Amino acid sequence: MLQSKYMQKVAKKREFEKFYQEHFDKVYRFIFFRSGGDKEAAEDLVSEVFMKALEHFDSYDEAVSKSAWIMTITRNHLFNHWRDTKKTHALPQADEEGEGEFNSDSFWLKLGIKKWQQDMDRQEANGYLAKLEPEEAEIVTFHYLIGYNYAEIGAIKGMSEGAVKVAAHRAIKKLREIATQQS
């Protein structure tokens, strides 16, 4: 009996490792794009998502959900993260003479340039997605950036496969119209 419980735990561990390997890339890419390309935040959030998945892995049924289960956890965790965190930046501290980073014009200039460059990179990567409605951007991200098929997206979002296809088609058509207007 003890041997059997041990073997069950080993089997579950292997099953989760396989699950992790199969879904890590899609979860990471989804979070990375939805967090504006912030690599460190994406890594932290992915780690938290898989910790939650491990805690509740007993409720995972591959026959029912495949990747919809982990992507639902991912979306909910990301929404909770956005709700619970506020974007604030601490001011740098001055040295003992009252000089240093806080009073340095060059520091603020460098910080401004760095922030501008990060913003430009994000705009380039997410420029078109930002012009879509959130639901449209999510479907485009799932299908074209992460690689989910329409049936998987439907399972994640609680939509029919046909509805997802139509939404994706309309979003791409909208993006083409935007690109044509900008040309």
User: In this predicted model, what pLDDT tens digit does every residue of 30-51 receive, in sequence order?
Assistant: 888 887 778 888 899 999 999 9
User: pLDDT at position 175, please?
Assistant: 82
CA angle 157, 158, 164 (to 5 degrees): 65
d(C-alpha 62, C-alpha 73), whole Å: 15
Q: Is 104 helix (H, G, I), strand (E, B) or coil?
A: coil
User: pLDDT at position 99, please?
Assistant: 47
User: pLDDT at position 160, please?
Assistant: 93
User: In this predicted model, what pLDDT tens digit does every residue of 159-175 receive, in sequence order?
Assistant: 999 999 999 999 988 88
pTM of the model: 0.53
User: pLDDT at position 50, please?
Assistant: 92
Listed residue (77, 20, 26, 80) closest to 54, CA to CA: 20
Q: Which H or E run includes 171?
A: helix 161-182
User: pLDDT at position 86, please?
Assistant: 63
Residues of the chain with pLDDT under 50: 89, 91-92, 94-104, 125
User: What is the DSSP code (8-state) at residue 93?
Assistant: P
